[in-house]
Amino acid sequence: MDHVMKLDDQSSRYTKGRRNHLKACSNAEVDDVSSFQPFGNPRGPAPVDGYLQVTQIDMLMRNNKANHKTVLYSNPLLIVRRGQEFSVQISFNRAYKPGSDRFQLEFRIGGSPQIDQNTTIIVSPNPGENTSWQGRLLQSPSRTILMGITPAAACIVGKYRMYVVVITPAGLVRDMITSQELYILFNPWAADDTVFMSNESELSEYILNQTGIIYNGDNNTPIPRPWNFGQFESGILDACLLVMDDATIPLSSRGDPVIVSRQASARLNSTDNINGVLVGNWSDNFSDGYAPTSWTGSVKILRSYAQGRKPVRYGQCWVFAGIFNTFLRCVGIPSRVITNFNSAHDHGGSLITHIYVNQNGETDKVRTTDSIWNFHCWNEAYMTRPDLPVGFGGWQAVDCTPQETSDGMYRCGPVSISANKRGIICYSYDAPFVFSEVESEVVVIEEEPNGDDKVLQVNQSYVGSLILTKEIGQDTLMDITYTYKYPPGSTEQQMAMATAQNYGSASNRSALPKEDVEIKVLAENTMIGKDFKLNIQFKNLGRSVHNIDAVVAGNVIYYTGVLGPKISDSAFSVNLEPLKTVVKYVEVNAKDYMSKLLDQGNLSFFVRAKIKEMGQVISTQSVVTLQGPKLTIEVTGNLKVKQKMYFTVKFTNTLKYDLTKITVTMEGAVVFASKTKEYSHIASMSSITWTESFTPTNEGPNTLIACLDCALLRQVHGWVNFTIQP
Amino acid sequence: MDHVMKLDDQSSRYTKGRRNHLKACSNAEVDDVSSFQPFGNPRGPAPVDGYLQVTQIDMLMRNNKANHKTVLYSNPLLIVRRGQEFSVQISFNRAYKPGSDRFQLEFRIGGSPQIDQNTTIIVSPNPGENTSWQGRLLQSPSRTILMGITPAAACIVGKYRMYVVVITPAGLVRDMITSQELYILFNPWAADDTVFMSNESELSEYILNQTGIIYNGDNNTPIPRPWNFGQFESGILDACLLVMDDATIPLSSRGDPVIVSRQASARLNSTDNINGVLVGNWSDNFSDGYAPTSWTGSVKILRSYAQGRKPVRYGQCWVFAGIFNTFLRCVGIPSRVITNFNSAHDHGGSLITHIYVNQNGETDKVRTTDSIWNFHCWNEAYMTRPDLPVGFGGWQAVDCTPQETSDGMYRCGPVSISANKRGIICYSYDAPFVFSEVESEVVVIEEEPNGDDKVLQVNQSYVGSLILTKEIGQDTLMDITYTYKYPPGSTEQQMAMATAQNYGSASNRSALPKEDVEIKVLAENTMIGKDFKLNIQFKNLGRSVHNIDAVVAGNVIYYTGVLGPKISDSAFSVNLEPLKTVVKYVEVNAKDYMSKLLDQGNLSFFVRAKIKEMGQVISTQSVVTLQGPKLTIEVTGNLKVKQKMYFTVKFTNTLKYDLTKITVTMEGAVVFASKTKEYSHIASMSSITWTESFTPTNEGPNTLIACLDCALLRQVHGWVNFTIQP
């Protein structure tokens, strides 16, 4: 805030000779409005005698909220969507005579609102007098009138105050006592709105669904993580407006979903912003905050930020994507969370990810600055892009995880996904970075003993191998890989790559070294705390015998692709007849990895094989996700409005190891805000049971999420859907 | 700096599990390099016996600087340009045997330099071993070798350290004692560089010319202001690299002129940046700093910033453009300062400038947030735009005057001028804002007594009426209006406007009210301190008689278009026969304006005329620039190298008023840094004379600039060109 204060000081002091002062960037009201505004020079007090006086305004809450699909918000004020009519009932001290009486509605937002900035809007009951927002009388007027108001489909989104202003010959009489607050949101149901979405089942998912699924895990075993977006919970809408204020989005830009989503992507992380919402932490020490894996939803994070005005600790990518999704759905921009498996993080701005390894298969941490995350989550927001040529609207990628700076800040997007698919990466914002996340080529370079480098492996299909989001209306996965990229190796994909290279963001694709032997790594029954076998297949694609010396290096690995401590090392030889496959097994023992496991329970195995006959070295890396014991949630009771019902979370520690300092959380969008229970100890093979009661007040479908978190076991969660009958 | 420190802390603490840490944004060296770097595991001390040892490196300063056009820099280190070979001479302890001895050069920049980030570059004397920077032996090798190095044409621009590294079987032996520092700059002489410019006379102006002219004044009377860019003066190159550091431009992006010019445009002002270079001040109080009009060049500002690390007080647009030009030419990006007369400052993001006036011709300061600056200066930088489709390279507008935020910060550009001319405003960065500066339509709205608004005047050719820069190789003006816009009203201009509207940045053009009477305002002999006559012509374009009631409101005006105090008011009637012109004269008296004048000496006259027969009201506004007394500079002496010569500044106060607290400054790029003399009082009709001596050390053409500044008279400056003989 200090910085903002300074700007205001400077503005008033140094800009006397300028008409353009700094823009208003706060939704907070400033009481600079007067009850009487004379025409011309002041001529004494307002002659209100005989003129209309307002006695009461009714915002017709129930009707308007139902029509504007805002019933779900836990908020006492009127919430409507722009580009769609709402109605208010105004009572005067006597009958309103349209011929002789004149009045208008005035909507104001923020400090020093101005007509030119669209922060003050005048609406007349006579349609002919309006240009931007429309107004009309809905009934023949008497002492009480019913007036319909249609905010412009491009108007500013935020919290307004509405005044009734009576026009007298001496000036404007603005009634202060009856003035009313209301929120106006984006309207994906309105065809004129830039966030318009025509399909009702999509709208039910992408605006109205308060619960969702975010995919973690790996390429072969995506793990669904339930998430309570809670965009309608009490306090969340105000928290989202606060994020816009703190992001210093000028009020006059708050009707533009491109700018709103971009600047929110900067403010939701705290990397450049001392007061950003969420602190990223990719270490394994979360002792002065909450582990990223322990969150079950966005509500607690956004409320905590709004109350304390301090960054909340800690998040990783799915937590950032979770809160961003809450923000977008809350303000009315259709959105979803997506997961990109083997997501390249291109540090150098090329389309190539360089990984340097030594002869033991260990990554050179000094030289390697690019990385491939096992998965990375970001958001898609749905909007037209009037700032770009026609054809690039629709889903836009936006990402608030602080990965790389964009135009001076940690933020990303919006990027048109349809443009990116075709390699058209010249348009705002950050298209080359997102293109690289799903299309980057991986070049593994081995450092030879004499200091020279040798290309060990070039892979053009590893990155962006699978892109997922939750299915519409169901708890299953939807594969959206094809929306981001053409099939690897297809002509279309080559053309997209060539197009991207034309925009100067790419080096030439490396030549693929020819390989005579193919290696595949498989693992089954990879339960946490259990021993398992790696199944390594060597396939001879050539017509001569090959003798192979192989080493397999096992490490725990962060989901960001960074290796942790080593867990195993094995070496063996293979004799490969032409066109044959040989399978070797490598034992992986729980005692070797259990004390080293990181939060996502991932292990990496790097296989390096030297073909003796040719001197050629080939390699492959495989990531294995260990599965933990599950928790179960039982729902009992009558499942009827105003009757008590019960949720029971059960968990059995099937590991051979005791768990300590365990946190269990239950959270449901409509049910209750997150409830937490702490356990100091759960011995091996013992169980816990926790029951909470709940008395529903509304009928309808609903979801409860539960999560168990401790240092040894960070991926235990579950959810249950249920429907309350009337 | 606190903020930056915080980021570093966070980086090390929270990003353990991420490979991608925050990017290096400082050119400052960090001593993290070792003299021995073993291969594989360390095997004891380096076995240097018998291996090559470096004894000396000669950077061949004179030859390299001449070839790279960097002789003019007052800097003891080697300065070369990328994409062009330079040579160094390396002496060893014994003869170098190419067959058995191996060595390489290592160039490092910034902290933790890395090969992947192009912050460490290895150059071998064997061309076959190089991929990015080229190296070769230029003579047959002996104990001393001559090696040619060609930095990549896209390499990072900044200050490097060069090491000779000898390769032994045990590891790399890096000689620390002989290591050398050098600067590598952009190279507009190299065809591969994105700032390539083919014309040598353009390069002499846009890179090598240290002096220039910036146009102030108004549309009818552009006033040339001399400016000492001083880009080669001692300390300036380091100050420019400091600006890049403080702008936190990642080192890996410092080879890209798009990013470098954009981020510099943010850092050269101090509006978002507590530590930006120059503080904008558009008030009329500069008592705690220097008046913007008192500067004669950039050198003092940039040196003061580099030394004090605090924003320098005060600048207005031509000062911002002056220092930005110094920055660009210094780092090697061709650039010029341009002036746009009647420059719209569009606050609302539309293509229309709304001016609200009352019936006395006074601007409504609350409702009017758009403005039209009498003139506005910005810069053009020359580069290709590989980030955009083909055809949008060439001159790009960049602007560091803090007018409007762009993507969250006060900065502007680069904007392709050729794209803007055609209304293609969808490409990065800030095209709609710059388009509006030169193409905005002006709508003057009058507030009626009953509170209603009425469009008084719509003008589609007022804004951007003239765009000027200095001519190449001469001190005259070059009209470049046509590079920004098609002729007003032409089909091409209509199409450009329609194209811009397609990108969603514009409202519909207003309908022009039909006018029967035309008003023109002329003024002659407008000398400061003298009375003069306004000549107001009323021309009847119709076929009926018109009787007109006219009022003329005179105000002093800031160059930003904001009105200051009123100086005169007059009213009269005109009887206009069909197709006739009537001229009325209005006296403007010095006693009315002298005590109120603002720094640019501008007066505004707003004429409002009501045609009685039709009830129609027409209006026009005219800005008059008052001319001050001139100063003269005499050059005497022999004008030969090593002989004393003299500059004499003479000024006579021809005003009827005494001047007080006067500052006179002399400054020349090669001559001397700015010298200042203070006078407490110059009485009316009295003169001052100030002589300074100078002994040139180099031959060639040169310029001296002088400026006199006091509160009453802020636009007195002059310059003289002279040539020193050998």
CA distances from A601 to A557, A715, B615 (A): 8, 8, 82
Cα end-to-end distance, chain B, whole Å: 49
- Report B:457-486 residues touching A (Cβ under 8 A): none
What tens digit of pLDDT does each residue of A246-297 get?
888 889 899 999 999 999 999 999 876 567 999 999 888 898 999 999 999 9
A231 touching B (Cβ < 8 Å): no
Contacts of A117 in chain B (CB under 8 A): 347-348, 369
Q: For chain B (length 726 residues), average pLDDT per consecutive 10?
A: 36 64 68 69 54 93 97 96 97 92 93 80 92 93 95 96 90 89 97 96 97 92 93 96 91 94 93 81 89 94 94 95 98 98 79 79 73 93 91 95 83 94 89 91 78 77 93 95 92 87 60 74 88 93 90 88 86 92 93 84 87 82 87 93 94 90 89 87 94 90 92 88 92
- Is the model's pLDDT at A600 over the cut of 80? no
What tens digit of pLDDT does each residue of A323-332 get?
999 999 999 9
CA distances from A159 to A65, A181, A238, B72, B336 (A): 15, 7, 9, 59, 46
- Is the model's pLDDT at A126 over the cut of 80? yes
Greater pLDDT, A516 or B519: B519
A9 touching B (Cβ < 8 Å): no
Q: In the structure encoding, which two tokens stand for residue B194, read together?
A: 């994105």
Interatomic CA distance for residues B24 and B113, integer angstroms:
8
What tens digit of pLDDT does each residue of A387-415 get?
888 889 999 999 999 888 887 788 899 99
Task: Give the 3-state secondary structure of B118-178.
Answer: CCEEEECCCHHHCCCCEEEECCCCCCEEEEEEECCCCCCCEEEEEEEEEEECCEEEECCCC
A561 touching B (Cβ < 8 Å): yes
From the list B20, B253, B271, the residue facing A369 with the nearest CB is B20
B399 is catalytic: yes
When pLDDT is averaged across residues A417-422 and rounded to a whole number, the result is 93
Bond prior to A429 in cis (omega within 30° of 0): yes
When pLDDT is averaged across residues A103-107 and rounded to a whole number, the result is 94
pLDDT of the residue at B5: 31
Binary contact (A282, B314; C-beta < 8 A):
no
Q: Choose the catalytic residue: A370, A399, A516, A599.
A: A399
pLDDT of the residue at A662: 94
B451 touching A (Cβ < 8 Å): yes
Q: In the structure encoding, which two tokens stand for residue B188, read together?
A: 């507009």
Picking from A3, A407, A411 by the largest number of B CB atoms within 10 A of its own CB, the best residue to mutate is A407
Angle between helices B431-439 and B491-502 (to 10 degrees): 150
Contacts of B6 in chain A (CB under 8 A): 274
Note the pTM of the prediction, 2 decimals: 0.84
B266 touching A (Cβ < 8 Å): yes
Picking from A4, A246, A260, A369 by the largest number of B CB atoms within 10 A of its own CB, the best residue to mutate is A369
pLDDT of the residue at A7: 37
Interatomic CA distance for residues A88 and A148, integer angstroms:
7
Picking from B7, B18, B401, B505 by the largest number of A CB atoms within 10 A of its own CB, the best residue to mutate is B18
CA distance, residue B349 to nearest chain A CA (Å): 9
From the list B171, B370, B561, the residue facing A116 with the nearest CB is B370
pLDDT of the residue at A511: 56
H helices present in B192-292, as ranges:
200-203, 236-246, 257-267
Q: In the structure encoding, which two tokens stand for residue A61, read together?
A: 């809450």
Q: In the structure encoding, which two tokens stand for residue A243, read together?
A: 């994020």
Q: What residue in B sits closest to A246 (Cα-Cα)?
A: B408
CA distance, residue B515 to nearest chain A CA (Å): 25
Confidence of residue A13 (pLDDT cuts 50, 70, 90): low
pLDDT of the residue at B514: 65
Closest of A413, A239, A260 to residue A338, by C-alpha: A413
B39 touching A (Cβ < 8 Å): yes
A317 is catalytic: yes
B566 touching A (Cβ < 8 Å): no
Contact B603, B557 (CB under 8 A): yes
When pLDDT is averaged across residues A124-149 and rounded to a whole number, the result is 93
Q: What residue in A sits closest to B284 (Cα-Cα)?
A: A17
Contact A240, A232 (CB under 8 A): no
Binary contact (A280, B14; C-beta < 8 A):
yes
For chain A, give the percent of residues with pLDDT over 70: 92
Vertex B466 angle, CA B462 and B470, to 5°: 165
- Is the model's pLDDT at A5 over the cut of 50? no
pLDDT of the residue at A20: 59
Interatomic CA distance for residues B18 and A557, integer angstroms:
10
When pLDDT is averaged across residues A627-648 and rounded to a whole number, the result is 92
B269 touching A (Cβ < 8 Å): no
pLDDT of the residue at B23: 61
Q: Choose the catalytic residue: A68, A345, A354, A376.
A: A376
Greater pLDDT, B621 or A22: B621
Interatomic CA distance for residues A615 and A259, integer angstroms:
55
Contacts of B503 in chain A (CB under 8 A): 386-388
Give this complex's ipTM: 0.75
Radius of gyration of chain A from its Cα atoms, rounded to whole angstroms: 30
Picking from B9, B19, B108, B455 by the largest number of A CB atoms within 10 A of its own CB, the best residue to mutate is B19
CA distance, residue B298 to nearest chain A CA (Å): 21
What tens digit of pLDDT does each residue of A452-502 get?
777 877 888 889 999 999 999 999 999 999 999 999 888 998 888 888 887
- Report A:86-115 residues touching B (Cβ under 8 A): 114-115
Q: Choose the catalytic residue: B25, B240, B317, B377.
A: B317
Interatomic CA distance for residues A724 and A668, integer angstroms:
14
Q: What's the mean pLDDT when you consider all of chain A?
A: 88
B508 touching A (Cβ < 8 Å): no
When pLDDT is averaged across residues A634-650 and rounded to a whole number, the result is 93
Binary contact (A283, B403; C-beta < 8 A):
no
A440 touching B (Cβ < 8 Å): no
- Is the model's pLDDT at A30 over the cut of 70? no
Q: What residue in A sits closest to B13 (Cα-Cα)?
A: A283
